[in-house]
Structure 1
């Protein structure tokens, strides 16, 4: 619900503590405050546990209004116009623990509606229009009551019998508004049994009336809170009342909402100081004029003094009197915060300061406590949220504080622009410098015996590799800086706690833990992790170490690459193969080797090289055929091809070659020496004539061929034609493998052709012969001129 936060804020004002009425996470909360309601809504969920109906216009509470809310625990009806609550309004709300009816129009304090609320712990009926504070009998049955708020906006009298109904109950806190008190019977407040008492003092009245109230208030509880000390008109009654204090019971006093001058302020404080009070807290003070004068002091040492929110209603103020007052204070623990105009001088010798908190003021480091050698007992100094600028001045301020262990200078404007020999006290153990403007140079200007260092929310990019004088450091807080790599633990051998959340770490390595043997807690959450192989070891850090990982696993997510954005590091999986280059290379080489072996075996068993070679030859022949210019052919070519072969291979020529070439739909004209040599003509002349009249010359190569001398002549003349015409008309067919050593050395032309010339191999496998004939047909298959075709026919 949108107003849940404001409702929770209301819950916090329950002075008994959060444990009584603060809603748990699973409570059903209904917030209908400031909704202009004229009555209690009738459609409230029956499971409602926390209900806020404050700041509306409700005037009456009826019996049936809350009858269905059996689980109701907290009910806020404050700031309405309620003038009547039916007697049995809460009889069904057995679990009701917190009820706020303050600032309404109730006039009858008998409160019979309380009869059935046996679990009630918190009850506030203050600032109504009661004509007296005589509590009714129902208050006597509230055995679990811990907090009670009383008071009226009408003039009332207060007598002993008024509070007798709660005199048997041990309460934690009672708050009574006596702002309009007209008469008081001495001893009335003494009937209360409470740990803490809050009195809103009368705004007017005689000194005697105020003295009686203060007398009883200071002797009725352990902790007393007094508010509404308004000296705008006169302060004599308050001053006289505090001066009249004798033996007091309380040990802790809280003063709130004071409006007075500095002289009146000190006149009230000094009498209180002289009592047995140990702890004094003063809040919301307004100094309303410029009547400053020398202050009185007490020799008694106070355990603690807290002053918060001091302001001036006038522009001018004399700081020297404030200096004098603070310098002479005898107190062990001093807190002055939210003053915004505080100037604090060095205390006198012999002071008892052990703790000083000066949060949220206007202190600068230029002169504050410089050369102050009187704070020998000071152990803790808190300077949060001030105007400190020079880090070097901060260090010199501490050089005489021989007992200082903890210094907090966070939320200032500290800078350090150059390396400096800082003058720290040797006793300092804990230093908080978070939320400043410090850079990497801060590590050159730190005290030597530090055990805890907080430099979160600065401008630190890196921790230098060599950091001196920090061997005692146990806790280091570096969150929300600009660091891109983790600090070297070798610089901090005793480090136990390291916070580096909210930086710019992309791929932190877990190897730094090897130099941090004592590390027990690590916070590296909310960094932009790049989930690559470099991050793999870090993503397993929770599994491989006993170090406590703060924020794990929900705050450790991948930012890069995009496909892994939002992935938790604990769920990140990167295989060993991806992240090990040597292993990946071995796998690739092994795979390639296996693939090569498999391909080799496949080629061997399937004759794949032969098929590839034959296909290559076919494509090459086709390419040459496409480039051939038919006009360059000899016009006297009458044969498609001349075939040269050994007589021993004539069987293959006549049974395989000639039938395929001559017995087809478009037959080739083949020239053979035994058919076309002209009788009476010389053999060499016949060979030359046949070769010149044939477009192609086919040579059937075999061991028989190389042993036939005339075959060599035919090949010689055919090669000579090729060279002279720059043609490519030789076709070599190898019937069987011919080793080079079987070719006679005198046939070197044949060796050259066998080495350079692409040839066709006759396959014994019939399944491969179709590809052989296709290649041969492509090699021969160029049509002759039309005239030549007619001659052939």
Structure 2
């Protein structure tokens, strides 16, 4: 009963909730308390309704991408009326029904990119009144219905790039009424002109992107583009300057013409666009003469120029003072993606930015993606005091000579990364006292000298990643008192000298990952005390072979983020005792991809403020997690243990993680999880148990129920969890047999056992023979004996069956048998020693004898009462008497039997009270011979009574009343003695 009640209550709970807090194809995400979202990524379902059928109704953000969903039906999202962001990209969608997005009145962003959509219904977006962002990139659209955007009045950004659109006029007409549209991207289509049938863009449109189409002419009215501020027409190779004649571009702030046939000098002469708003990248200004001509045109039109973009023009050399004829450039000069070499600059005496001439107001110079190989000394060059940013990435710089930046003393950002710098002179950076960011990563540096950075007292970020540095010498960074971030990752550092990090008093982020360190000697650098917050030591050779070591982190009391993952060759091996001593403020710890075989029980004791801990792939298989190892991690909110070799999930180990919100246990060896332990994690909201070898047995019946009906914790993809056996799913394996309350079961079973122990003795005394009789009668019936037992009386084989004890056999053979079967008598008796069938079961013989005889004579004596077989015989005869209501039982007492001796024979006593019985006269009676004669007469009469045989003999007593059936006891007086019969 208790199990049934439990199951019914669970069923009621399941029916009461809208959906269980686990989802077949999605993972819930939350941004704040109310911003509910779901990610349904790379699922096997092809029906979008099947993906979403168990999602909750108040969804704000829904991302369904990376699937194979060819069709989106009508009202596919009608349940999600609160939806604001919907992502359906990369799903191979080919058709969308007209009412697919009906009822999504709150939707603000819709992404349908990278599908196979070839056409859209005119009413597809009719319900999207609040839509502001629509992305249809990467489809197969050839045309758009004119009325398709009729209802989306708030649309601000429309992205239609990478389609097959050809009719520009239809696009203009479809968006002309959108008073909030500001961005329209039509790149990578097949437009040949901007013809628009006198229909204008909305006045709100300010950014129009048309790059990489097939435009051969603009073909638009003069005012058509007058409101566009950013116009990108690049990679339309057929456009010429003449196409812009008569087009109003006065308000255009940025015009990009990269890789077109436009002659920009002619464009500036025939167009009303301001010269400073044209991007000259990729416009064919490829030599000094063209550049000088351009500068002269620009100077005629303006005195000052904010930005001059000359990238991707195949410029090979820059003569001295080349840009002197240009207007004063106030902000930036972009010369990236050209063919400028160090030799050409040296030959034209244009090194050290001499090609700028008197243009000394620049703040930024970009010379990336050129062919510079050397940066020469600029000690005697007139400085550019206003230059703040110098970008020289993606060149081929091998050497940087002393005083290479002496002419740019006020540079704040210097990017020399992604070059081939192998030689950095001692004084190469001399004079950069205001430099704050220095990028030297991805070069070939091998050595750093104590005076390399001596002037960089304002430096805050130094990136030296992916070089070939092997040793950090003493005082290398001694002057970098303001450095906050030092990135030395990806080098070959195997040694840091005792004073190698001296001077870094304000360092907060130190990256030493991907080096050759085999120990952590941070304790040698007390300069970090109270400042360092991020320390990355991943992918080194750090390992421990002793359980007790001095903690290397004792001076890092403010460290918040520590990475120790991916140690080569064999991982950390051990986490020694009190290993993290001193890290009282640590909030994030990464120990991934180590082969830890032992973690000391007190290794994490100091990490009382830790909030994030990842142990993914951290450990050997079957690593013992000692009870109490996480006992102080009471502030931990996210614990990732993916593929960590964990075999058990016990309260002793995980019991103190009371604030954990996210727990990842996937790819471990646990065959079961303690539901009580999970329930104790009161703040748990996300649980990942994918790829656990969970057994589908009663051991996990509670876990199955918990994962399906709990409303507090999201269990990722429970419906996809297989059983360890691999033939069924975990969420619905049969558990009916498991729901037995052991306590109640033991109580009821004990109660029943006690009752049976009390009742059985009583039943034994009262009903023993009845049960035994029933058993044997059933056996006889099963053996087709009932046919014999139910024959009519006249067909009985014997007149009487004599039941007696073997001790009374002499009386039976010498007295009873001669008197009843003797000369002149027609009676036939059944005696067991004479008439029982040999080889037959004795009980079957007894039952057959009782039912094949008209009467049963029980010769009662003290020995008879003590005999089990005699008792069975009289019980069978008495049952026949009461069952058939025939006078079939005759009791003959050979000797007096006391009431106490008869007490166990309830049936016999009942017969004695109801029927007459005979008692053999004792030898001390007055006339024993007369009494015995009377006894035999009465016995013969009783045997014959009510029989057919009695009437055939002509006995005068044949019509006598049924004396034996009288309810009153009759008494025979013989020689002054009373004989009861």
- Normalising TM by the smaller chain, what interval? 0.5 to 0.7
* 1:141 Cα deviation after fit: 4.1
Aligned partner of 2:563 in structure 1 is 432
Aligned partner of 1:77 in structure 2 is 187
Distance in 1 between residues matched to 2:355 and 2:871, nearest whole Å: 126
Decide which of 329, 339, 344 is 1:234's aligned counterpart.
344
Unaligned runs of 5+ in 1: 9-22, 34-39, 312-317, 627-656, 674-680, 700-717, 736-741, 774-793
* 1:298 Cα deviation after fit: 1.2
Q: Please state whether the residue corresponding to 2:459 is helix, strand or coil.
A: strand
Aligned partner of 2:674 in structure 1 is 535
Distance in 1 between residues matched to 2:498 and 2:875, nearest whole Å: 106
**Bigger RCO (CA 8 Å, 6+ sep):** 2
* 1:182 Cα deviation after fit: 2.0
Distance in 2 between residues matched to 1:31 and 1:617, nearest whole Å: 83
Decide which of 421, 435, 441 is 1:302's aligned counterpart.
435
Q: TM-score, normalised by structure 2?
A: 0.52
> What is the 5 A alignment of 1:757-768?
760-762=875-877, 768=883
Distance in 2 between residues matched to 1:2 and 1:683, nearest whole Å: 103
Query: Could you tell which deviates more after superposition, 481-490 or 325-334?
Result: 481-490
Q: Please state whether the residue corresponding to 2:110 is helix, strand or coil.
A: coil
Aligned partner of 1:220 in structure 2 is 331
Q: Please state whether the residue corresponding to 1:761 is helix, strand or coil.
A: helix
From the superposition, tell whether residues 765 and 685 of structure 1 become closer, same or farther in structure 2 (CA, over 3 Å). closer
Contact residue 417 and residue 442 of structure 2 kept, 8 A: yes
Decide which of 616, 621, 627 is 2:775's aligned counterpart.
616
From the superposition, tell whether residues 355 and 269 of structure 1 become closer, same or farther in structure 2 (CA, over 3 Å). farther
Distance in 1 between residues matched to 2:303 and 2:770, nearest whole Å: 118
Decide which of 419, 442, 461 is 1:285's aligned counterpart.
419
1:575-616: CA deviation from partner (whole Å, max 9, x where unpaired)? 99838643443355467779x699999999xx9976642243
Aligned partner of 2:44 in structure 1 is none
Aligned partner of 2:256 in structure 1 is 149
Distance in 2 between residues matched to 1:572 and 1:486, nearest whole Å: 33
Q: Please state whether the residue corresponding to 1:586 is helix, strand or coil.
A: helix
> What is the 5 A alignment of 1:129-208?
138-141=248-251, 148-151=255-258, 156-157=264-265, 165=273, 176-177=281-282, 180=286, 181-183=290-292, 184-185=295-296, 202-208=315-321
From the superposition, tell whether residues 581 and 686 of structure 1 become closer, same or farther in structure 2 (CA, over 3 Å). closer
Aligned partner of 1:332 in structure 2 is 459
Query: Could you tell which deviates more after superposition, 482-491 or 467-476?
Result: 482-491
1:499-556: CA deviation from partner (whole Å, max 9, x where unpaired)? 2252466764567676356x36433364669796x53235545xx7245547851526
> What is the 5 A alignment of 1:421-570?
421-424=550-553, 426-427=555-556, 429=559, 430-436=561-567, 438-439=571-572, 441-444=574-577, 445-450=579-584, 451-452=586-587, 453-460=589-596, 463-467=599-603, 470-481=606-617, 488=628, 491-493=631-633, 495-503=635-643, 508=649, 515-516=656-657, 519=659, 521-524=661-664, 526=666, 535-540=674-679, 545-546=682-683, 549=686, 552-555=713-716, 557=718, 560=723
Q: Please state whether the residue corresponding to 1:220 is helix, strand or coil.
A: strand
* 1:663 Cα deviation after fit: 0.5
Contact residue 881 and residue 887 of structure 2 kept, 8 A: no
Aligned partner of 1:407 in structure 2 is 535
Contact residue 479 and residue 502 of structure 1 kept, 8 A: yes
1:343-366: CA deviation from partner (whole Å, max 9, x where unpaired)? 5744253223523453663x1342
CA RMSD of aligned residues (A): 6.3
Aligned partner of 2:224 in structure 1 is 115
Q: Please state whether the residue corresponding to 1:182 is helix, strand or coil.
A: helix
> What is the 5 A alignment of 1:622-637?
none
Contact residue 131 and residue 156 of structure 1 kept, 8 A: yes
From the superposition, tell whether residues 127 and 432 of structure 1 become closer, same or farther in structure 2 (CA, over 3 Å). farther
* 1:618 Cα deviation after fit: 3.9
From the superposition, tell whether residues 200 and 384 of structure 1 become closer, same or farther in structure 2 (CA, over 3 Å). farther
Distance in 1 between residues matched to 2:595 and 2:716, nearest whole Å: 23
Contact residue 553 and residue 583 of structure 2 kept, 8 A: no
Q: Please state whether the residue corresponding to 2:574 is helix, strand or coil.
A: helix
Q: Please state whether the residue corresponding to 2:433 is helix, strand or coil.
A: coil
* 1:457 Cα deviation after fit: 3.9
| 1:26 equivalenced with 2:160 (yes/no) | no
Contact residue 93 and residue 117 of structure 1 kept, 8 A: no
Contact residue 50 and residue 75 of structure 1 kept, 8 A: yes
Contact residue 605 and residue 630 of structure 2 kept, 8 A: no
1:655-697: CA deviation from partner (whole Å, max 9, x where unpaired)? xx99967512xx4043689xxxxxxx99853546699999997
From the superposition, tell whether residues 98 and 421 of structure 1 become closer, same or farther in structure 2 (CA, over 3 Å). same
From the superposition, tell whether residues 608 and 52 of structure 1 become closer, same or farther in structure 2 (CA, over 3 Å). farther
Q: How many residues in Structure 1 have an aligned counterpart in Structure 2?
A: 652
Distance in 2 between residues matched to 1:683 and 1:41, nearest whole Å: 118
Q: TM-score, normalised by structure 1?
A: 0.62
Distance in 2 between residues matched to 1:244 and 1:769, nearest whole Å: 139
Distance in 2 between residues matched to 1:232 and 1:381, nearest whole Å: 36
* 1:431 Cα deviation after fit: 1.0
Distance in 2 between residues matched to 1:487 and 1:118, nearest whole Å: 70
From the superposition, tell whether residues 124 and 224 of structure 1 become closer, same or farther in structure 2 (CA, over 3 Å). same
> What is the 5 A alignment of 1:542-691?
545-546=682-683, 549=686, 552-555=713-716, 557=718, 560=723, 578=739, 581-586=742-747, 588-589=749-750, 612-618=771-777, 663-664=794-795, 667-670=796-799, 685=814, 687=816
1:722-754: CA deviation from partner (whole Å, max 9, x where unpaired)? 9x999957679799xxxxxx986xx33541346
From the superposition, tell whether residues 415 and 549 of structure 1 become closer, same or farther in structure 2 (CA, over 3 Å). same
Distance in 2 between residues matched to 1:233 and 1:3, nearest whole Å: 54
Contact residue 763 and residue 769 of structure 1 kept, 8 A: no
Contact residue 436 and residue 460 of structure 2 kept, 8 A: yes
Aligned partner of 1:257 in structure 2 is 369
Distance in 2 between residues matched to 1:200 and 1:233, nearest whole Å: 19
Contact residue 465 and residue 488 of structure 1 kept, 8 A: yes
From the superposition, tell whether residues 436 and 85 of structure 1 become closer, same or farther in structure 2 (CA, over 3 Å). farther
Distance in 2 between residues matched to 1:547 and 1:472, nearest whole Å: 19
* 1:327 Cα deviation after fit: 6.8
Distance in 2 between residues matched to 1:200 and 1:672, nearest whole Å: 129
Distance in 1 between residues matched to 2:637 and 2:375, nearest whole Å: 50
Decide which of 357, 361, 380 is 2:508's aligned counterpart.
380
Distance in 2 between residues matched to 1:621 and 1:257, nearest whole Å: 109
* 1:292 Cα deviation after fit: 7.8
| 1:125 equivalenced with 2:238 (yes/no) | no
Aligned partner of 2:697 in structure 1 is none
> What is the 5 A alignment of 1:725-744?
728=842
